[in-house]
Structure 1
């Protein structure tokens, strides 16, 4: 990130749309941005109709003038390719560029993201506008980086136009080579679906009971992802050839897109759009929901792609479109809290959305730093404070990496398959959220680690504990990799519905959990979903393994386990709440220097707490701090000294108070808050509502 951004500081920026405002306002806006402490400005990502008002007629003059003014005021410019919003002349003249729903009904012009990546004409016209932009702006002294498109697959992430059906067939030909191989992988002998000609093969269309071939559905999502990546690669290649001194990124984490592959193939780093108020609008279930703190889980996903990244849109005001999503304004201190939430998880550049709230259009209620009246307010004053703090602390933070000894494993195959397969899809979210929530509440930083064919043993060995909640689809190679991890001393935790599908989504004719069975030391003898009344079998933990006699529910699904390993011990058995009485529900198996825990159910907060205790997982700051649950702890550190006179790398402990109430903490030794310079001595201290600290402890 440091190399890509050419900066040794954590910096701030803002999104700006000069096309929305009279030109007489621009210079005053740029001047005030700089005075506020902003260093970056993002522009142009929705400007196609201005840059090419007629087909083949190009006019960059508006952005020439805006960029010149921004540069004159010392702002670094991030320029967006405008392909997320093709102009009306394009879709009117070339309706084949429009995306369609599965029922064949086409989307129309009038919003955004109404195109398909696979239209040859749209790719041609996209390549041309990007080429002209890249050539025109390549030598501009104020431009430092490019954002490709805007939020790939936001709002619409399924594509069923005629062009997509055609491209899907070509994608399948490359993947399988023959119809015979395709028929075998998809199990088309079922319900007489066998294909005898490639023209018979389509993406999902309207079918009775909404029950298309599940193996087609899985490949369909892989195809959607590859389509985005191919389209983005086209743009990235053009930009890099014409403007090699600029960095290249894109923003967002959206459905049916392997963002890890996208980033690895063509980007310098990933960028993310962080809107924590969504977590308050749609809270996770159960008691004590995470609310805006849940965006720390999203930021952990971002960090799995780029350890240091950019926030291209940081929520700065109340949010809403004219027809949906009514969000309250951030309370005093929350904007600062959310900024440091992003930085604590690895952001080295935070760009606020937006400078001033639009006075027209769909987003005229999606507020920015300024309201329509254009006056300073408490939000701008918060940003001014943050900028001042980062002038003090930014060099100490920039380039440091998030520390974690626990990782939750995820993968795209299971997430995409689980969207359609209700026999495992919802369990991953439930279990992942319980693990993340309890690790958060107990101040144990964790990573998200996405598993794919390129995952290495070295990547796994960075962690003492791995949680892979419900890997239904598991490749033989992945099972061997996990076995090597455990053999080498790692701890692996797995839940129900694991290992019984191969990469095509077909069920294996072997005992569950398939290739994971030897590692887990169990096979699944019986299983059931929850009863129609919502009740699930319950089980009791072994008093020899846990300091509790509590009973826990299997939380939606239950498997009875047969122990197959002489090194396995039963940690919990079903009680008399069901016919499974006495059968093993939770088993720990030793293998080599490590161990695997297999749970025949869906993880819950209380069970996760018990497993954390059994495994002896503790907070890395337990010797330094005593914290209430409302505080999030993250640790960013440098491997090497960054300042003269240091003997070792710096470790920074971020404390984030998500509560609207003050919070009491205990400091066990002296520390300094890098953001404010305030000293904390041993003893009790009070944190304000929505406070954020970056503590460095005395050596």
Structure 2
């Protein structure tokens, strides 16, 4: 199955992140009282506090957090307790420098930041086991604790590891995978550039090479190895916590970061998955916030779709409440009035039943003094706190929404092999990034929600069969098992849509000597004899589909329709004008559409219309493009979220009488959503 979840929240729950070690004990009680007055019932603590438990090697003390947790008991504040392994103490890194991660050039990352350790150091594993076991044994039965967070943001800051311990562990990983150097040399194509290995000690994690010429097959296995190492580190801690936790207490970690199979980690290590949501990153310096096509903060819904694929009923461990920035990098605007609620409701709409705001109060010291929380340095009530209170009022009106299912019209199919190949192969990365962004944009602007589904070793037809349409944009790497699953999906009545650059690599990343799209050809019913990036020296390439022009950007496969395959659109210009750009092949009760280009919001909109899944809520509501529409469903009730990302009021039209959950009143006809305003409507069937 594509997701597993051992824990779900039974009601909408609001929390915040709190660091008692940052504050004088004299304000602890007042902080908890003010949190509860705002509707906060859960706090996350301790994930950066190793020294508070083990101030010197092998010497453990628990008095500090004992005192704080007793206050939490008194105030009836629930706690998610973090393991403190994201920031090893100075005594540890000074005595055991082998625990440090390093750059590819071999420079160690020294004490003073965070996440500067490596997962594969035997010494770090030993010391982490010891401190986690001590904490879990001491606090596992504590009545205030309801959950445990492992580490903090695994693979954040860096998702690559180049220590000596990593090379040693990499060799062991490869020995277990390939059994012999002969098999490894074949899989990695080491005959190219005379890279053949004759001893395991010659194999390293990637090192500096001239012109960045890293063996792509080695590089692909390296990313798989990082995922393996990350999950093993997470599992090591989870198994310790399971020995000591109370029944009902959950284990989680907060993601979602790079070079880790989050689905595997969720299944093997966690009870529930949590995410850190910071939509204002979309206003980064690499985007123009005045360009409406960027979608700006609304773009964060694309990440939430990914999170939901890992865990359908997830939590938000860090929900943005203020401006973001460090003293060393990053800057961002404060949420405008209304955006704090908008961004939190964005998370809820996409499946979050727990919202924890980061952080209660902005830190007055250290690197993150510009990573603003609900309260500012002066500790006074402010507009952000009032907005948190207003969010809580609305949030608690949504208890009926808790544990409801997201409603998707189609699926975006992915797999980790192809995701990691985009980090190895810049050609693959370019087409994949464009298509994924544009499928999301088309989904948003046509109000046609989608799910992300990852193909995994245990994927079954039931994981796909519920979707009438599936986009698998650029399955560059494919194997017989995945092809068979896709064929079964299509034969039972599904519509599979594939873009250019499909099926030309095996699972080691080597190109196969087959007509493209390789083993997918029997599904697509096409032959690709020629292909090219679109040339900047000529006009934009397009195709004609009936009476309409179809965008065919970035890269073009020149398609030949095989027997029984229909041509829907033909290229209109370039040297391949008149050849097939879009085809349709009937397979069993379903069909396969093969688009010989990357996806754009224009061609995706046309494909959604053609396949009959576009705008599924149009019989209920009319809304402008500035509004995101999302539906969650439970039993005979559906809950429609309308989220206005526009800095001005917009009008929506409700075509039937529905219940406004915020006000417990009926609503119908024209409704004005204020700037950054939200609404949630209950619809009975």
Superposition TM-score, scaled by structure 1 size: 0.95
Pair 1:592–1:279, CA change in 2 (3 A): same
Please say if residues 656 and 692 of structure 1, whose CA atoms lie closer than 8 Å, have aligned partners that are also in contact.
yes
Q: Distance in 1 between matches of 2:287 and 2:562?
A: 37
Shift of residue 450 of structure 1?
A: 1.1
2:556 to 558, 561, 564: 558
Runs of 4+ in 1 over 4 A off after TM superposition: 1-7, 282-287, 534-537
1:646: which partner in 2?
none
Pair 1:16–1:535, CA change in 2 (3 A): farther
Q: Distance in 2 between matches of 1:458 and 1:5?
A: 22
Cα RMSD after superposing both structures: 1.6
Question: What SS class does the counterpart of residue 668 from structure 1 fall into?
Answer: strand
Q: Distance in 2 between matches of 1:315 and 1:666?
A: 30
Unaligned runs of 5+ in 2: none
Shift of residue 535 of structure 1?
A: 5.0
Please say if residues 2 and 399 of structure 1, whose CA atoms lie closer than 8 Å, have aligned partners that are also in contact.
no
Please say if residues 565 and 589 of structure 1, whose CA atoms lie closer than 8 Å, have aligned partners that are also in contact.
no
Please say if residues 186 and 504 of structure 1, whose CA atoms lie closer than 8 Å, have aligned partners that are also in contact.
yes
2:389: which partner in 1?
384
Pair 1:220–1:689, CA change in 2 (3 A): same
Pair 1:667–1:332, CA change in 2 (3 A): same
Please say if residues 18 and 66 of structure 1, whose CA atoms lie closer than 8 Å, have aligned partners that are also in contact.
yes
1:496: which partner in 2?
500
1:451 to 448, 455, 480: 455
Q: Distance in 1 between matches of 2:89 and 2:533?
A: 50
Pair 1:185–1:342, CA change in 2 (3 A): same
1:422: which partner in 2?
426
Please say if residues 495 and 590 of structure 2, whose CA atoms lie closer than 8 Å, have aligned partners that are also in contact.
yes
Per-residue CA deviations over 1:523-560 (Å, capped at 9, x if unaligned) read 101011233x37576232232xxx42x253x3111111
Question: What SS class does the counterpart of residue 397 from structure 2 fall into?
Answer: helix
1:400: which partner in 2?
404
Q: Distance in 1 between matches of 2:537 and 2:243?
A: 58
Shift of residue 565 of structure 1?
A: 3.1
1:539: which partner in 2?
542
Superposition TM-score, scaled by structure 2 size: 0.97
2:39 to 37, 40, 50: 37
The answer on 1:270 being equivalent to 2:273 is: yes
2:569: which partner in 1?
572
Question: What SS class does the counterpart of residue 218 from structure 1 fall into?
Answer: helix
1:248 to 235, 238, 251: 251
Please say if residues 284 and 290 of structure 1, whose CA atoms lie closer than 8 Å, have aligned partners that are also in contact.
no
Question: What SS class does the counterpart of residue 670 from structure 1 fall into?
Answer: strand
Q: Distance in 1 between matches of 2:525 and 2:542?
A: 19
1:327: which partner in 2?
332
Question: What SS class does the counterpart of residue 86 from structure 1 fall into?
Answer: coil
Please say if residues 322 and 371 of structure 2, whose CA atoms lie closer than 8 Å, have aligned partners that are also in contact.
yes
Please show how residues 547-626 of structure 1 align to structure 2 within 5 Å.
547-548=547-548, 550=549, 552=551, 554-566=552-564, 568-575=565-572, 577-626=573-622
Shift of residue 40 of structure 1?
A: 0.5
The answer on 1:122 being equivalent to 2:118 is: no
1:691: which partner in 2?
677
Q: Distance in 1 between matches of 2:557 and 2:375?
A: 55
Pair 1:258–1:5, CA change in 2 (3 A): closer
Please say if residues 637 and 683 of structure 2, whose CA atoms lie closer than 8 Å, have aligned partners that are also in contact.
no
Please show how residues 426-445 of structure 1 align to structure 2 within 5 Å.
426-445=430-449
Shift of residue 282 of structure 1?
A: 5.3
Q: Distance in 2 between matches of 1:6 and 1:399?
A: 7
Please say if residues 534 and 541 of structure 2, whose CA atoms lie closer than 8 Å, have aligned partners that are also in contact.
no
Shift of residue 511 of structure 1?
A: 0.6
Unaligned runs of 5+ in 1: 640-648
1:652 to 622, 639, 643: 639
Q: Distance in 1 between matches of 2:401 and 2:6?
A: 16
Q: State which drifts further: 418-427 or 85-94.
A: 418-427
Shift of residue 284 of structure 1?
A: 6.1
Please say if residues 669 and 697 of structure 1, whose CA atoms lie closer than 8 Å, have aligned partners that are also in contact.
no
